[in-house]
Amino acid sequence: MGKRARLKKLNKMDIREKPSEAPSAASIDLDPRIKNIIILALFIAILAIGINLRIINLNNVERRSPDEGIYTYQANTVAKLGAVQGVKTLINDYNSDQKFWIYPPPSRVGYIWALAGVMKLTGIMNEKAGAYISTAFSILSLILLIVLGLRFFNPWATLAGLLLMSVSPMDLAIARRSWQDAMFGFMGLGLIYLASELGRNAKQLLWILPFAALGSYTVLIKEPGVVIYGLCGIWLCWVLFVREKLFLNGSILIICGALGAAVSLFLLTNAAGGLAPVLQVIKHVKEAMPTNVYAIDYQSGPWYQFIQGFWIMSPVSIFLCVIGVAGILMPKNTFFPDTGKRHELIGILSISAAFFFIAIMTPYCQNLRYVSVLYAPFYLLGGLGFWYTAMAFISLFKNIPVYAVIAVLALTLAAASVSDYANFKKIIVKTGILDVSIRMIREQGL
């Protein structure tokens, strides 16, 4: 064999025997089209899981709660007597009989009218009508979570948040019941989304009208609607008047909000037969609370028990949520890379934190369904925390193939999701509990 042939053979051997380097986070860069296809497929798959879980658990409710019976009775009355006469009859009966004061008041016409409408359209006059509404709005909340997440977080954080929300024990619990909380959660999330859009595009008046319209309807669904609408409005006033100095836009926001509130008040008082009956309902609700045995025994206690309720239901999510919150508030570095939408994230966090603080400080309100408006922000912040954690691990373990790190983290998140769904089955379904009050959750989950 000649010298030239031997050199050629050695070169081939060197190429074959040279060990390949493990890919690092910096060297992995998927084609944008392939990346988008993967992300889209994951979104479709996870959303399909969330929808399927809500549908298959719709018919496994053995007993209905007293509140479900009251809402069904109220909607039946409105369906038979009409939107105005039905509400007037309900409010008169409520004010004249003290035994009704511990139950949901008939002033929540935003939900009662919607439930009565579904009953008339479908012919279903029992609690199933309300359960179908709850399932529909729970699914819509998953979709709106995707919209909010892609707009103000990032695709990977949104995917993680969507997975956690899809198996959320709290959301699955209210999605199968004839309560107004799933509807209220969707409407409140819509207000947070519209407020975030208006905060990001402060000069555009386009978002003011739908924000005012949605907020004006939300206050008719449940009393905390005033709180979430007000908090979003306060945040926007700060953005428009203080941060952006857009005094005209801020004035238009206040005018539209006032007009919407006036329309809501007119609709309610017109149906109730005047302002006095509505004020009496509010008075009776307040008077009944200190003597409401259920509220005292099952929805009262130290403020930290409310947080414990979230921990029992979704322990990994609350841990990731803390990381997500820290990432928003702390200076950006390797562990907390910049998302590029800091103002909007701070707005979402501020509104959510203020609402939660008011909830835990309000007497007799320790019930996870009362904060349904916070489910999506809670899981999106958890998704952001997962993304921060993933970036930190990829940066820390540079000598390990990035795909291996991602696979381990993905399997960990999947295991946490399976655990959350198992909590729903163990705490909610198998026990047959009629509510998600903190005491019930603690009794079944600890």
Residues 375, 382: Cα–Cα separation, whole Å: 11
Task: Assign 353 to helix, strand or coil.
Answer: helix
Report pLDDT digits (tens) over 228-258. Answer: 999 999 999 999 999 999 999 999 999 999 9
- Count the Cβ atoms, other than its own, within 10 Å of residue 284: 18
Report pLDDT digits (tens) over 137-165. Answer: 999 999 999 999 999 999 999 999 999 99
Residue 346's closest CA among 375, 373, 381, 376? 381
Tokens describing residue 248: 């005209």
Q: Which of left, alpha, beta for 364 (phi over 0: left; psi -120 to 50: alpha)? A: left
Among the residues of 153-291, which ranges form H helices? 155-166, 169-175, 181-200, 208-218, 224-237, 247-272, 275-288
Tokens describing residue 304: 């930290």
Task: Locate the domains of the chain by residue range.
Answer: 45-55+63-445
pTM of the shown model: 0.90
Residues 329, 45: Cα–Cα separation, whole Å: 32
Report pLDDT digits (tens) over 364-399. Answer: 999 999 999 999 999 999 999 999 999 889 888 888
Report pLDDT digits (tens) over 170-191. Answer: 999 999 999 999 999 999 999 9
Res 19: pLDDT: 37
Determine contact, residues 402/341, Cβ cutoff 8 Å: no
Residues 10, 419: Cα–Cα separation, whole Å: 56
Rounded (to 5) percent helix, strand, coil in the chain: 75, 0, 20
Residues 247, 61: Cα–Cα separation, whole Å: 52
Determine contact, residues 298/439, Cβ cutoff 8 Å: yes
Residues 23, 137: Cα–Cα separation, whole Å: 44
Residue 426 pLDDT grade (very low, low, confident, very high; cuts 50, 70, 90): very high
Residue 146's closest CA among 368, 419, 380, 357? 380
Helices (H) then strands (E): counts for the chain: 20, 0
